[in-house]
Amino acid sequence: MFSAPLVYRDFFFISFSPARNPIKSFSLRLLDDPSRTESQDNMASFDGPGFTMVDGAWIRTKAIDVESSTDISPYLSLLLEDCVWNGNRAIIFDVYWNVESEDAKSEWRLSSVKLSTKNLCLFLRLPNPFHDNLNDLYRFFASKFVTFVGVQIKEDLALLKENHGIVIRSSLEIGKLAATARGTPIVEFLGTRELAHKILWYDMSRLDSIQSKWDEAESKDRLEAAAIEGWLIYNVYDQLQQ
């Protein structure tokens, strides 16, 4: 067992002045085994529902309504740790916007963020306005420790910079890469479900089932759909790497 504020790694790499940059300590759980139980001594944990994927993989989830007092950094650390242990330093991300229009102009506002690794799926619902504690998210997105992998992210990257000054330094438009790697131009333009279908040919019935009954779906089902989508793109990335 070890604890690692990896989220700050790129920024406060070496602590010359601990007084100015106090080291935060988190007790992290080992995440290498889907069957493992939660560690008792850790306050930050993916204690939301877990889901089994079609290949038997088990995804732990956590959905957080970020308040001014919420410390999201231990969760971000757990994601980074999962990257390290699984030998695949990629975070699958998706962003959700709220838009308010006034005829000739509009205001875009980041409302939620989803972050997935091989075993974890974190869903952050952001406050309006942002609190200081979201600096952790800014730094996380700027990290080059991982590659941030997404589907159709070109406009998102622009909106993040324009509307919030968020910069993702290391990002990958997975559809574009897939189109090049596979020689099938169409996949550059597909959404998550279709892209994954073209590359992986997995059974999508569970995802389709939830998405087609979205209104009746309970929160747990919706979280499962989110987890499935993250896991699908993780597997697309994994396959394109080989």
Window 11 to 70, contacts with a second copy (CB under 8 A):
11-17, 23-26, 28, 63, 65
Q: Which residue has the tokens 């709220």?
A: 98
Nearest distance, CB of residue 57 and a second copy, angstroms:
21
Applying CB under 8 A, what is the total number of residues that bind a second copy? 96
Supply 229's token pair: 């989508």
Q: Please identify which residue in 42, 49, 54, 193 interacts with a second copy, judged by CB under 8 A.
A: 193
- State the Cα–Cα distance between residues 95 and 166, nearest whole angstrom: 12
Q: Which of 59, 79, 120, 151 binds a second copy (CB under 8 A)?
A: 151
To a second copy, the closest distance from the beta carbon of 45 in angstroms equals 16
Told to check if 76 binds a second copy by CB under 8 A, we report no
Please state, in angstroms and rounded to a whole number, the distance separating the CA atoms of residues 126 and 108.
13
**CA 29, CA 27: separation in Å to the nearest integer?**
7
Q: Is 206 in the site for a second copy (CB under 8 A)?
A: no
**Chain centroid, CA 27 distance in Å:** 21
DSSP letter, residue 86:
T
Q: Which stretch binds a second copy (CB under 8 A): 34-42, 51-59, 138-146?
A: 138-146
DSSP 11: T
Which two tokens mark 145? 């420790």
**Near a second copy by CB under 8 A: residue from 226, 232, 233, 236:** 226
Minimum CB separation from a second copy for residue 19, in Å?
A: 12
